């Protein structure tokens, strides 16, 4: 184990307290000098956007001239903008991906957790989409979804569709088609996290349950799943937040179309800012998305009971 | 798995039991074989879904003509004319974009990893006032949603004068800086490297301090070499992140000549819309470096994202 346990690091800190270099002005300056470049960049590109972005939500701003305070005007405009609401609806609809991706990646993780020959190949294969850029992935699936393309071929061969459709050009299917790409690209990522979670469960627990006569399903339900609870919390939180903020796949594959059917909340803020140059209104939209994702984070936390394995 | 053992022990005394035991074992073996073949079937099917889109893009990019989007297992013909078209760069400057990607990745990885490795040292191994405050402030920043980040960072970049158009040489450098600066303070990287530093025995550092080594020397000669596996892992993750990112570059770069490959690919898909096969060739060329890095650094990936979540 290269990663120290919590106890080890605490011991480390204790030792530091007793025999580490003395706290002098010189040492303090050296410490801050080490952190200076990082902290400057952190403040400029991470902290500043949080505060200035919140402020901008109450202003009119086009980058060139300084922001003008307009109070709640941006929010009033957002409330009346049908496009914003449909963006918000689509973003919330996108959360449908979360349960599907979690269940599938737990299943896949359990499958690749089996000690079988060549299992390394499969783990690697499932991870390839994760390391590929959305620029590439989006283009590949745009081609795959063409009317005469492989996706239609498979759907027809399975008897799920009678006639070929251009799935990304149909307002009823486009959002789901993009969701599938998110799913396809994300499974490998969560698989690795769940794999780590599974390997952290003591094998003795599962063996003891088997000796006590538990069926496979009972072992999974009563031992494996509770053991995975902390991982499930982290993973569903990550995927819920990224579902609400879905953007890149939309940007590459549909640009919000057809007929606004894939227009998501973050795509709305993007177009307000970089197409219409209404940065204030974009910031207001961003603020609303931020609040929503905090709320979802809290709900998530409650559902998984804080990720405590013994809850 | 555990049952045969007690049965075996009894088999030493009773002949029939041995017979039953071997029967049981054979049945178990058959059952395992069945389960394993079923598992391989499912694993293979998932691998097909994960890899076929890449394979399909690869073979189609080598076809000279024919029904481009058709589902296929083998190209209808072989030709490198699509690649020649990309390499010639008649509509998009391919080699220039490769150069841009290399510059952006080199700058990005070097400084991101360097700044995180520097900043993590005092946070892990020094005592100074404000350490815990800084640590928790950074931690909070990581969970704070920042949907206006894109908007504010754009305004910051403009206001820093990085997009000015007055001096041909300086402007190129400034635009490269505009692309890489916002991602340079990586909180995940800071935590990963800090975690690795915590595992380094304090005695080593104390000994070096007693010998009169400067903190920077200790950092370079003790901390960096001992944390090397983590630093390599983080560098690989960052390389992939910089290579794959396209959105910010497309927003911020005034000069299309400076676009990195993944962003340029989207330009390519716009200008080459008459020859999608050339875009496919471009997509293949964009993925290759990532696949090479991934093949060599696979174990680092898995460790890296596990650590990112635990950290």
In CATH, what number is assigned to the domain containing residue A224? 1.10.3720.10
Residue A158 lies in a domain: yes
Residue A122 lies in a domain: yes
Of B185, B246, B305, nearest to A135 by CB-CB distance is: B246
- CA–CA gap between residue B24 and residue B20 (Å, rounded): 6
- CA–CA gap between residue A215 and residue A223 (Å, rounded): 11
B135–chain A Cβ distance below 8 A for any pair: no
- CA–CA gap between residue B200 and residue B47 (Å, rounded): 40
Chain A neighbors of B67, CB-CB under 8 A: 148
The answer to whether the CB atoms of A49 and B149 lie below 8 A apart is yes
Residue A251 lies in a domain: yes
Average pLDDT score over chain A:
88
Considering only CA atoms, which of A16, A283, A153 is closest in space to residue B131?
A: A16
Residue A14 lies in a domain: no
The answer to whether the CB atoms of A149 and B287 lie below 8 A apart is no
Q: Do strands A59-60 and A68-69 pair parallel, antiparallel, or not at all (unpaired)?
A: antiparallel
A55–chain B Cβ distance below 8 A for any pair: no
Residue A36 has a pLDDT of 97
Residue A60 lies in a domain: no
Which tokens go with A307? 């990720």
Residue A306 has a pLDDT of 58
- For A223, the domain range is 83-307
A154–chain B Cβ distance below 8 A for any pair: yes
Q: Which of A29, A31, A235 to mutate to test the interface with B (most CBs of B within 10 A)?
A: A31
Rg (C-alpha) for chain B, rounded Å, is 28
- CA–CA gap between residue A11 and residue A182 (Å, rounded): 43
Which tokens go with B9? 């022990």
Beta bridge partners of A60: A68
Cis ω on the peptide bond leading into residue A278 (within 30° of 0)? no
State the burial class of residue A183 (Cβ atoms within 10 Å of its Cβ: 0-12, 13-18, 19+): middle
Residue A79 has a pLDDT of 95
Please answer whether residues A12 and B202 qualify as being in contact, where contact means their C-beta atoms are separated by less than 8 angstroms. yes
**Residue of chain A minimizing CA distance to B245:** A133
Residue A250 lies in a domain: yes
Instruction: Say if residue A98's pLDDT is above 70.
Output: yes
- CA–CA gap between residue B192 and residue A3 (Å, rounded): 10
pLDDT tens readout for residues A36-64: 999 999 999 999 999 999 999 999 998 88
Other C-beta atoms closer than 10 Å to the C-beta of A270 total 22
The answer to whether the CB atoms of A290 and B147 lie below 8 A apart is yes
Q: Terminus-to-terminus CA distance in chain A, angstroms?
A: 28
pLDDT tens readout for residues B71-117: 999 998 999 999 999 998 877 889 999 999 999 999 999 999 999 99
Of A21, A141, A279, nearest to B155 by CB-CB distance is: A279
Among A22-26, A148-152, A193-197, B105-109, where is mean pLDDT lowest?
A22-26
Residue A43 lies in a domain: no
Q: What is the DSSP letter of B201?
A: -
Average pLDDT over residues B51-61: 96
Residue B151 has a pLDDT of 92
Write the DSSP string, B204-249: HHHHHHHTT--HHHHIIIIIHHHTHHHHHHHHHHHHHHHHH--HHH
Average pLDDT score over chain B:
87
Residue B23 has a pLDDT of 80
Chain B from 183 to 222: CB within 8 A of any A CB:
183-185, 187, 190, 195-196, 198-199, 202, 206, 209, 215, 219
pLDDT band for position A3 (cuts 50, 70, 90): very low
Q: What is the DSSP letter of B63?
A: -
Please answer whether residues A279 and A273 qualify as being in contact, where contact means their C-beta atoms are separated by less than 8 angstroms. yes
Of B246, B279, B309, nearest to A133 by CB-CB distance is: B246
pLDDT band for position B14 (cuts 50, 70, 90): low
Chain B neighbors of A20, CB-CB under 8 A: 125-127, 202, 206
Residue B296 has a pLDDT of 85
Chain A neighbors of B280, CB-CB under 8 A: 143
The domain locations on chain B are 4-79, 85-310
Considering only CA atoms, which of B138, B265, B289, B249 is closest in space to residue A47?
A: B138
Which is more confidently placed, A199 or A19? A199
Residue A24 has a pLDDT of 87
- CA–CA gap between residue B30 and residue B24 (Å, rounded): 10
Instruction: Say if residue B305's pLDDT is above 70.
Output: no
A255–chain B Cβ distance below 8 A for any pair: no
Please answer whether residues A112 and A119 qualify as being in contact, where contact means their C-beta atoms are separated by less than 8 angstroms. yes
Q: How many angstroms separate the CA of residue B80 from the nearest CA in chain A?
A: 19
Residue A305 has a pLDDT of 64
Domains in chain A, number: 1
Residue A307 has a pLDDT of 53
Residue B3 has a pLDDT of 45
A221–chain B Cβ distance below 8 A for any pair: no
Q: Which of B128, B137, B177 to mutate to test the interface with A (most CBs of A within 10 A)?
A: B128
Percent of residues, chain A, with pLDDT higher than 90: 68
**Residue of chain A minimizing CA distance to B138:** A42
Chain A neighbors of B251, CB-CB under 8 A: 274
Percent of residues, chain B, with pLDDT higher than 90: 64
Given CA atoms A111, A115, A116, A117 in this order, what sign does their dihedral have? positive
State CA A172 to chain mean position distance: 24
Give, in order, the Cα–Cα distances in Å from A51 to each of A78, B147, B149, B230. Answer: 20, 11, 10, 33
Residue A6 has a pLDDT of 47
Residue A171 has a pLDDT of 93
Given CA atoms B279, B284, B288, B290 in this order, what sign does their dihedral have? positive
Torsions phi, psi for A59 (to 5 deg): -130, 170
pLDDT tens readout for residues A108-145: 999 999 888 889 899 999 999 999 999 999 999 999 99
Chain B from 267 to 296: CB within 8 A of any A CB:
269, 276, 279-280, 283, 286-287, 290-291, 294
A176–chain B Cβ distance below 8 A for any pair: no
Chain A from 156 to 175: CB within 8 A of any B CB:
none
Residue B196 has a pLDDT of 92
Phi-psi region of B212 (alpha: psi -120 to 50; beta: other; left: phi over 0): left
Please answer whether residues B286 and B265 qualify as being in contact, where contact means their C-beta atoms are separated by less than 8 angstroms. yes
Residue B254 has a pLDDT of 80
pLDDT band for position B164 (cuts 50, 70, 90): confident
Chain A neighbors of B125, CB-CB under 8 A: 16, 20
pLDDT band for position B303 (cuts 50, 70, 90): low
Residue B302 has a pLDDT of 66
B152–chain A Cβ distance below 8 A for any pair: yes
Residue A246 lies in a domain: yes
Residue A48 has a pLDDT of 94
Residue B273 has a pLDDT of 64
Beta bridge partners of A69: A59
Given CA atoms B231, B236, B240, B243 in this order, what sign does their dihedral have? positive
- CATH: 3.40.718.10, 1.10.260.40, 1.10.3720.10, 2.60.40.420. Which one for B85-310? 1.10.3720.10
pLDDT tens readout for residues B282-295: 999 999 999 999 88
Average pLDDT over residues B53-71: 92
Q: Which residues contact A149 (CB under 8 A, 6 or more apart)?
A: A143, B69, B70, B71
Average pLDDT over residues B26-42: 88
Instruction: Say if residue B304's pLDDT is above 70.
Output: no
Q: How many angstroms separate the CA of residue B97 from the nearest CA in chain A?
A: 14
Instruction: Say if residue A168's pLDDT is above 90.
Output: yes
Which tokens go with A185? 């690209």
Among A178-182, A199-203, B17-21, where is mean pLDDT lowest?
B17-21
Instruction: Say if residue B260's pLDDT is above 50.
Output: yes
Q: What is the DSSP letter of B254?
A: S
Percent of residues, chain B, with pLDDT higher than 70: 90
Considering only CA atoms, which of A248, A264, A276, A258 is closest in space to residue A77?
A: A276
The answer to whether the CB atoms of B71 and A274 lie below 8 A apart is no
Residue B30 has a pLDDT of 85
């Amino acid at each position: 184990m290269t990663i120290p346990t919590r106890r080890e690091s605490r011991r480390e800190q204790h030792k530091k307290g007793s025999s580490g270099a003395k706290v002098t002005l010189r040492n303090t300056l050296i410490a801050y000098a080490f952190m200076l470049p990082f902290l400057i960049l952190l403040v400029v590109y991470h902290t500043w956007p949080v505060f200035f972005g919140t402020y901008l939500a109450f202003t009119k701003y086009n980058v060139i001239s300084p922001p003008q305070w307009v109070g709640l005007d941006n929010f009033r405009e957002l409330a009346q903008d049908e496009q914003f609401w449909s963006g918000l609806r689509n973003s919330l609809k996108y959360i449908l991906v979360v349960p599907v991706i979690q269940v599938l990646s737990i299943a896949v993780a359990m499958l690749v957790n089996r000690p079988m020959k060549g299992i390394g190949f499969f783990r690697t294969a499932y991870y390839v989409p994760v390391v590929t850029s959305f620029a590439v992935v989006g283009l590949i699936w745009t081609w795959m979804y063409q009317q005469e393309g492989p996706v239609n071929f498979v759907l027809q061969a399975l008897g799920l569709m009678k006639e070929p459709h251009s799935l990304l050009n149909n307002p009823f299917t486009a959002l789901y088609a993009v969701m599938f790409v998110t799913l396809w690209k994300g499974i490998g990522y969560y698989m690795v996290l769940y794999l780590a979670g599974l390997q952290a469960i003591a094998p003795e627990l599962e063996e003891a349950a088997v000796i006590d006569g538990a069926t496979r399903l009972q072992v999974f339900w009563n031992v494996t799943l509770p053991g995975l609870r902390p991982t499930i919390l982290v993973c569903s939180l990550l995927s819920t937040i990224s579902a609400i903020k879905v953007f890149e796949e939309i940007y590459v594959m549909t640009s919000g179309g057809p007929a606004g059917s894939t227009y998501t909340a973050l795509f709305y803020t993007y177009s307000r800012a970089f197409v219409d140059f209404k940065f204030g209104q974009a910031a207001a939209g961003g603020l609303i998305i931020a609040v929503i994702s905090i709320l979802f984070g809290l709900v998530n936390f409650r559902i998984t009971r804080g990720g405590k394995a013994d809850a | 798995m555990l049952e045969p053992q007690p049965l075996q022990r009894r088999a030493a005394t009773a002949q029939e039991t041995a017979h039953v035991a071997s029967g049981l074992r054979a049945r178990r073996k058959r059952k395992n074989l069945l389960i394993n073949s079923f598992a391989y079937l499912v694993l293979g099917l998932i691998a097909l879904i994960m890899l076929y889109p890449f394979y399909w893009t690869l073979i189609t990019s080598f076809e000279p003509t024919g029904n481009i989007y058709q589902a296929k297992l083998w190209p209808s013909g072989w030709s490198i004319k699509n690649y020649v078209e990309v390499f010639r760069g008649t509509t998009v400057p391919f080699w220039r974009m490769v150069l841009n990607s290399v510059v952006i990745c080199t700058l990005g990885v070097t400084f991101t990893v360097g700044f995180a490795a520097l900043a993590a040292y005092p946070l892990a191994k020094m005592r100074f006032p404000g350490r815990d405050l800084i640590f928790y402030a950074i931690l909070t920043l990581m969970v704070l949603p920042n949907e206006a980040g894109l908007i504010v960072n754009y305004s910051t970049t403009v206001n820093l004068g990085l997009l000015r158009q007055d001096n041909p040489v300086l402007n190129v450098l400034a635009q490269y800086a505009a692309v890489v600066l916002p991602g340079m303070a990586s909180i995940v990287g800071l935590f990963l490297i800090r975690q690795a530093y915590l595992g380094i025995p304090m005695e080593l550092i104390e000994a070096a301090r007693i010998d009169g080594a400067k903190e920077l020397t200790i950092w370079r000669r003790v901390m960096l070499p001992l944390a090397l596996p983590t630093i390599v892992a983080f560098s690989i993750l960052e390389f992939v992140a910089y290579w794959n990112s396209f959105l910010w570059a497309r927003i911020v770069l005034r000069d299309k000549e400076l676009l990195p490959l993944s962003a340029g690919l989207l330009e390519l898909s716009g200008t080459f819309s008459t020859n999608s096969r050339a875009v496919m060739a471009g997509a293949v060329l964009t993925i290759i470096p990532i696949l090479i890095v991934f093949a060599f650094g696979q174990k680092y990936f898995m460790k890296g994202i596990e650590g990112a979540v635990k950290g």
